Amino acid sequence: MISDTLSNAPFYCNLHKSFRLAFDYLQQTDFSNIENGKIELDGENVFAIVNRYNTHSAEELKWEAHRKYIDVQFIASGNEHVGIVDIGEMSSSSEYDDGKDVQFFEGAGEHFHLREKMFAVIFPHEVHKPGITSAERAHVLKVVIKVRL
């Protein structure tokens, strides 16, 4: 997992051939004018999911992991905690859904704070739980860029 501010994104562009496209999109887009939903940047290879929501307690949310995509999770406004743990530390609580590229897990992990204008890069070997309330419930505008492995 990588967590940093968007201003430092150029340091990570060489880690994957599509990261430059993902970070350029995040840096150049005013998300306050973009509706919730999916936006293709390079077909199914790279796409954005814009979402607005209120954070929840950790107990209300599920641990998840993906196999086909790396997540670049960017907080355009608001803040949240995100749970993170290596997949080997968790127990599966569902079968892998190939169509949705998701599998759910049970267990415990650590949390980190993701503030406005920060991003986290979450790899397939990392189980994560986004959307956790930090000090108090917050309204979040998040963009998740899905980058195909």
Residue 101: give its domain's CATH number: 2.60.120.370
Structural domains of the chain, count: 1
Query: Which pLDDT score is estimated for 63?
Result: 98
CB 17 within 8 A of CB 45: no
- Which of 125, 8, 12 is CA-nearest to residue 70? 125
Nearest to 131 by CA among 70, 71, 41: 71
- CA–CA dist 116, 78 (Å, integer): 5
Give the long-range contacts of residues 33-39, CB within 8 A, separation 24 or more: none
Residue 135, pLDDT score: 85
Residue 22 has a pLDDT of 98
pTM of the model: 0.95
Q: Quick one: pLDDT at residue 94?
A: 97
- Give pLDDT tens digits for 22-40: 999 999 999 999 999 999 9
- Please give the share of the chain, as a percent, with pLDDT higher than 70: 100
Which residues on neighbouring strands pair with residue 54, listed in sequence order? 139
Residue 108 lies in domain: 2-148
Short-list 46, 95, 92, 108, CA closest to 72:
46
Model confidence pLDDT, tens digit, residues 85-124: 999 999 999 999 999 999 999 999 999 999 999 999 999 9
Which residue from 137, 132, 17 is spatially nearest to 70, judged by alpha carbons?
Answer: 17
Q: From residue 63, how far is each of 18, 32, 84, 131, 148 by CA, in Å?
A: 26, 28, 9, 11, 20
Half-sphere exposure for 127 (CA within 13 Å, toward CB): 22
Model confidence band, residue 62 (pLDDT cutoffs 50, 70, 90)? very high
Residue 24 tokens, joined: 């350029």
Evaluate if residue 16 carries a pLDDT over 90. yes
The chain-wide mean pLDDT, for the chain, equals 97
For 84, residues 6+ apart whose C-beta sits below 8 A from its C-beta are 1, 109, 110, 111, 112, 122, 126, 127, 128, 129
Q: Can you tell me the mean pLDDT for 119-136?
A: 96
